[in-house]
Amino acid sequence: MALPKFFEFFRPFLEAVSDGELHTPREVREYIKTKMNLSDEDISVMLPTGRITYFYDRVAWAKTYLDKAGLIETPLRAKYKITEEGKRALQSREKIDLKYLERYESFNMFRANNNPIDDRIEATEEEKSPQEILDYAYNQINESLSSQLMAEVMKLSPLQFEKLVVRLLLSMGYGSGIEDAGKVTQLSNDGGIDGIIKEDKLGFDNIYIQAKQWSLTQTVGRPEIQKFVGAITGVQAQKGLFITTARYSTEAIKYANNLLGTKIVLVDGETLMKLMIKHNVGVSSEHVYEIKKVDSDFFEVSL
């Protein structure tokens, strides 16, 4: 039989976790397979890349969309649970599809992006070029990955988060070739400095780090940046990185941009996720697609 589309897995996914208990991905997939009467052959068909099955991929995307709409949650790593809103969706007996999820602002925010193709418009394939479709899909996948990655980061302890930030900077090339280039400071009496990256072997120039693992809805204000500047000044340094999972107020950004003699770089949660993905910290490559074009110079010059 033809494998159902990924949004057709929404209701059975919710049913799989409807008891309110925690369930593993394997348990959910087994329930869906039985509920939708799918054979072993149905669920074993591979995507063109040969790395993952259509079934596994579509169930995973169903999970992502339901999570973004707030119908399920992941309180523990790889453990799913239905929310009160998810229970109401099941009890409503309405068709749970993409249109249904659009009533949730959190889902609409997830789908919205800066891509010139607006997925909220029902466009046919003829209205989009293959490159546009590919670019849009790439952005959607990265949006989902960023959200999942942030969820994992927020589960870290404060010390683990500080170590993560230092590791990210080393992966970006800071302190390259220097022994013990990066370290996390002592948890007690750190003077407002959470980590240090050496920029030269003798330690003449260091980058001092403040790492704030705050709620995504919180805002880092100017006072926090002023305290950090004070801490840097106290060690007679001139370079600082303030990195947070939250966001910055307009006043905090203006203050950091107008400092004299001290350079403070602000990295918010969205930028942090982009940097982790770009530099392969906490993520790994699943598929690599190489797009090629005809080399006109080869035919005009080389032959």
Residues 45-103: pLDDT tens digits?
887 767 788 899 899 889 999 999 999 999 888 899 999 999 999 999 899 999 999 99
Compute how many other C-beta atoms are within 10 angstroms of the C-beta atom of residue 298.
Answer: 9
| pLDDT score for 264 | 95
Place of tokens 């003829």: 126
* Average pLDDT for 248-253: 96
Whether residue 285 lies inside any domain: the answer is no
Please report which confidence band the pLDDT of residue 291 belongs to, taking 50, 70 and 90 as the band edges: confident
Q: What gap in Å lies between CA 49 and CA 159, rounded to an integer? A: 38
- Residue 186 pLDDT exceeds 70: no
- Residue 290 pLDDT exceeds 90: no
| Secondary structure class of 207 (helix, strand, coil) | strand
CATH code of the domain covering residue 217: 3.40.1350.10
Residues 76 and 184 in one domain: no
| Entry field: residues in the chain | 303
CATH code of the domain covering residue 97: 1.10.10
| Residue where a domain terminates, one of 51, 83, 112 | 112
| Secondary structure class of 80 (helix, strand, coil) | strand
Residues 185 and 107 in one domain: no
- Residue range(s) defining the domain that contains residue 26: 6-112
| pLDDT score for 120 | 39
Q: What gap in Å lies between CA 216 and CA 123, rounded to an integer? A: 33
Residues 174 and 265 in one domain: yes
- Residue 7 pLDDT exceeds 70: yes
Q: What gap in Å lies between CA 271 and CA 185, rounded to an integer? A: 23
263 bridge partner residues: 239
Whether residue 206 lies inside any domain: the answer is yes
Higher pLDDT, 158 or 51: 158
- Residue 119 pLDDT exceeds 90: no
Residues 274 and 170 in one domain: yes
Residues 36 and 96 in one domain: yes
Helices 25-35 and 54-69 pack at an angle, to 10 degrees, of 110
Q: What gap in Å lies between CA 56 and CA 62, rounded to an integer? A: 10
**How many structural domains does the chain have?**
2
158 bridge partner residues: none
Closest listed residue to residue 227, CA positions, set 204, 196, 194:
194
Residue 244: both structure tokens together:
């947070």
Whether residue 151 lies inside any domain: the answer is no
Q: What gap in Å lies between CA 17 and CA 22, rounded to an integer? A: 7
Whether residue 88 lies inside any domain: the answer is yes
* Average pLDDT for 116-138: 54
* Average pLDDT for 247-263: 94
| pLDDT score for 114 | 36
